[in-house]
Structure 1
């Protein structure tokens, strides 16, 4: 055989071998990989499987769940630590999250895809190793190596080389029989029995039965009841929101931009799709989040932020943290998801004007002033007013200040440096109130109620604990021209406030 065909044959064999090795390593790494994320309020270990099922391992006190045929690959989710007051409260939280599962599903899909890409890159690196060794040795050394395989030492080295993967794999190791092996799977319909009517979409979800979980039937059925009521209430609200223009909801003119103002969600993810539906009915394209998305600001509440992101991922998104969003977790998490979290600097707004805001000083920080600890509420308000007035002097009058508590923007209004200050915090709608400055300028203040329908800092439930509210801000030529509130009552009915025109001056 001539040298050229031989080189081609050797190259082809080397390429096929490298691809096979890289693919085997990538698949092995992927199927044996895991990733820890915050999911449904838990530190959750995500592991891919070939079973095409999604299995949720809830721990020793609650039954595991299995969702059949979720896709070409399956996943095993092992729930870890969380913060909860009781088992009943935990189960109810699961039920409410299940009412709108798109955010956790998208998060798991993203994590699995990231693990697959990581395994593929590692497999590629291992697959290229034989090629690198082949090229590094050169023809002369390769010849010596292959001739050495016929010697006693060469055969011993080859045996050791082939034994190495077996020693790493150790297939003779086996696990002891566990309680998990003793359980069997049954559908919720089988668990509940013929006398209990279940929603069609949950009847085929499987529960692992066994001696440890036989007393959990009451909790499971209670969760299903909460799921059913929550899904029905919020799904109906999201559907009927399309009819809000018939109740007086204003739609924008061609030259106007509408922003949707949210505040005080307090983990009520059921309202996220409702708020989005209201925004769609009103022609909104921007969301302003005035904070208190959580009740404690802890990482276990990431499920609430994931839901918010899923509802508005294709809109322009701006936000600040509220007084209940303790620490930096909420602001950092939303910023990583692509939100513009305001930090005391003036930014350009999608409606053509400018926007200014800062986290509530009673919570997660003080924007660019975080290196100055101990600033009071009034001092932060002064700094905010200084920024607004500096922008006005530069010819960039701030059209809107977004804060958690509208009182934080009062000094900027008194100085005549802003058109509109919006916030929440009080859980009660108020405004628009005109504020006349000494120099003749006029600005407005507006307070949104609680979007989560929260009583105090608690909003989770099969329906809002009090009326849930959002506000619509209409902009034209870069300045606010009108405000309107929309309220979902606890009985599922709607209230739509009058569209209030505002005329900030100068």
Structure 2
């Protein structure tokens, strides 16, 4: 009888380590979980092996769809904030609550890939963490067993098992293969009496099966949601196409006027290679993720070097509004974004934005693309469901004084804040040449205020008073392109980009930035150097009810 060949020691250890890693990775993947958002709710996502994606809404029922994951892997989604017992909640009030959450569901349905990507990254991260901890546990257990066995016993076991290395390896592979096959084969197909909902035919949820009271809700309101989604998609895709055409028309108009000498040529770059920096201003997005595609078009067509976000990216600054932050971050791509969060945002919002690499202003000056930008998060925070605003760490008056002091010390090129009135002391002192803000939902300026220029951006979400921002526009949405010469340290011009509720886009001509002329009168005596491009009522100072004083309430 021939002796079995004994594999080299390094090969045996390599096979043992590989088996341990595979087992730990399998454990990590099949037990991964994460807490993220699903529409207007927080939800717990966990990986399982039933081959289904199951959204559990408690006593309302479940939504099931075949999982796209391999090897029979599925995901269970447990939605929070659903009452455990509906006996105390009437059917009508339950349905009313769901209808009230329609905007939140539409935001999710409008950008499902954003949520899917976020969930995928979170689950993979948790799986890696669990696999790492499991591997550490295996190593520690192995080391403990090694110590307990002692050297003599280890040699005896090694002499006995080493000749059987290949048989043991084959056995592990067969067990793993059989286990995977059994898991995959155990996947439930569509169950009897649970047909796919016809509401989702032709959508990303085609084939979904509904159970419980939720089935009636979906049958009643699902068609409305799908119709709203289709209307929303069609509107913003058409608006994006119209913006592209409007930009082409402006480029032709600009070229003709330049050739005729009606407009001066663009300034040339300085000897150091720095030249003109284009900055696209957005403000008061208020979770209107439909505008993401239009913003993306504006960024690409304008060649913006930086995007300035003047705040109120979300409605309430909650964790579940991460889908909104993610959608806007995806729209700007690799273009740097500088953010001055607003009263409807929160520390959570700032953290979500920072996770995308966005620069969050926090009372100091940063330099982006050669432009020195000073700013801060809004001093007020709107309380969810209360409609009131309270001071964070400082009052608006204290924040205004701090920003004025910082401006006079740090010599910024731009002050970016959410609420216009907060920048008044810095402008009065002449320590900042330009302030950009939002908050009022109405465009105003650029106009000389104090010894500087103030520009208030309208809402990029087309936000209208008392109207939701989800769905086709209810008001005119605007963005503004600012240009700055890094050689002369001068602001050159402003250019308004607007999309009306009818979906018509307009790219207005550039308007020269006004030059500060001393002596400067008081705020109420300042006169805009030119009328806004659309010539409507927005060329007037926003109504006092928006921000009557530095320490007053916040209306929008």
Structure 1 partner of 2:45: 46
Q: Deviations over 1:322-345 (max 9, x none)?
A: 1222x4222233223322111111
Question: 2: CA distance between counterparts of 1:82 and 1:235?
Answer: 34
Structure 2 partner of 1:107: 118
Question: 2: CA distance between counterparts of 1:205 and 1:239?
Answer: 32
Q: 1:375 to 1:107 in 2, by over 3 A?
A: closer
Q: Could you tell me whether the CA contact under 8 Å between 1:423 and 1:448 is conserved in 2? A: yes
Decide which of 480, 483, 489 is 1:471's aligned counterpart: 480
Question: 2: CA distance between counterparts of 1:321 and 1:364?
Answer: 12
Structure 1 partner of 2:362: 343
**Is 2:292 the counterpart of 1:281?**
no
Q: 1:346 to 1:26 in 2, by over 3 A?
A: same
1:243-254 equivalence runs, <5 A: 243-248=245-250
Structure 2 partner of 1:223: 225
- Which ranges of structure 2 fall in alignment gaps of 5 or more residues? 84-93, 161-189, 256-265, 270-274, 384-390, 518-556
TM-score, length of structure 1 as denominator length: 0.78
Q: Does 26-35 or 218-227 show the bigger shift?
A: 26-35
**Is 2:378 the counterpart of 1:378?**
no
CA apart distance, 1:354: 0.5
Q: 1:147 to 1:293 in 2, by over 3 A?
A: closer
CA apart distance, 1:144: 7.1
**Is 2:460 the counterpart of 1:451?**
yes
Structure 2 partner of 1:142: 154
Structure 1 partner of 2:529: none
Q: 1:144 to 1:216 in 2, by over 3 A?
A: same
Q: 1:82 to 1:212 in 2, by over 3 A?
A: closer
**Is 2:245 the counterpart of 1:263?**
no
CA apart distance, 1:27: 0.8
Q: Could you tell me whether the CA contact under 8 Å between 2:315 and 2:344 is conserved in 1? A: yes
| Number of residues of Structure 1 aligned to a counterpart in Structure 2 | 448
Structure 1 partner of 2:373: 355
Q: 1:311 to 1:34 in 2, by over 3 A?
A: same
Question: 2: CA distance between counterparts of 1:334 and 1:234?
Answer: 24
**Is 2:436 the counterpart of 1:422?**
yes
Question: 2: CA distance between counterparts of 1:215 and 1:289?
Answer: 38
1:320-335 equivalence runs, <5 A: 320-325=340-345, 327-335=346-354
Q: 1:67 to 1:453 in 2, by over 3 A?
A: farther
1:125-140 equivalence runs, <5 A: 125-129=136-140, 132-133=143-144, 136=147, 139-140=151-152
Structure 1 partner of 2:521: none
Question: 1: CA distance between counterparts of 2:59 and 2:392?
Answer: 44
SS at match of 1:363: strand
CA apart distance, 1:270: 0.9
Question: 1: CA distance between counterparts of 2:429 and 2:382?
Answer: 26
Q: Could you tell me whether the CA contact under 8 Å between 1:18 and 1:128 is conserved in 2? A: no
Q: 1:134 to 1:264 in 2, by over 3 A?
A: same
Question: 2: CA distance between counterparts of 1:314 and 1:97?
Answer: 23
Q: Does 263-272 or 42-51 show the bigger shift?
A: 42-51
Structure 1 partner of 2:236: 234
Question: 1: CA distance between counterparts of 2:474 and 2:138?
Answer: 58
Question: 2: CA distance between counterparts of 1:492 and 1:317?
Answer: 26
Question: 2: CA distance between counterparts of 1:340 and 1:183?
Answer: 53
Q: 1:219 to 1:55 in 2, by over 3 A?
A: same
Structure 1 partner of 2:505: 494
Q: Could you tell me whether the CA contact under 8 Å between 1:96 and 1:227 is conserved in 2? A: no
Q: Could you tell me whether the CA contact under 8 Å between 1:63 and 1:216 is conserved in 2? A: no
SS at match of 1:426: coil
Q: Deviations over 1:118-138 (max 9, x none)?
A: 243234334545753576455
TM-score, length of structure 2 as denominator length: 0.71
Q: Could you tell me whether the CA contact under 8 Å between 1:18 and 1:127 is conserved in 2? A: no
Question: 1: CA distance between counterparts of 2:477 and 2:134?
Answer: 51
**Is 2:301 the counterpart of 1:290?**
no
Root-mean-square deviation (CA, aligned residues, Å) is: 3.6
Q: Could you tell me whether the CA contact under 8 Å between 2:495 and 2:510 is conserved in 1? A: yes
CA apart distance, 1:484: 1.4
Q: Could you tell me whether the CA contact under 8 Å between 1:54 and 1:70 is conserved in 2? A: no
Question: 1: CA distance between counterparts of 2:240 and 2:70?
Answer: 28
CA apart distance, 1:387: 0.7
Q: 1:93 to 1:240 in 2, by over 3 A?
A: same
Question: 1: CA distance between counterparts of 2:8 and 2:63?
Answer: 53
Question: 2: CA distance between counterparts of 1:125 and 1:202?
Answer: 40
Structure 1 partner of 2:419: 405
Question: 2: CA distance between counterparts of 1:20 and 1:47?
Answer: 25
Q: Deviations over 1:227-251 (max 9, x none)?
A: 1111111122223322232343679
- Which ranges of structure 1 fall in alignment gaps of 5 or more residues? 149-179, 193-197, 366-371, 392-396, 438-442
Question: 2: CA distance between counterparts of 1:183 and 1:207?
Answer: 10
CA apart distance, 1:262: 1.1
Q: Deviations over 1:138-167 (max 9, x none)?
A: 53242577999xxxxxxxxxxxxxxxxxxx
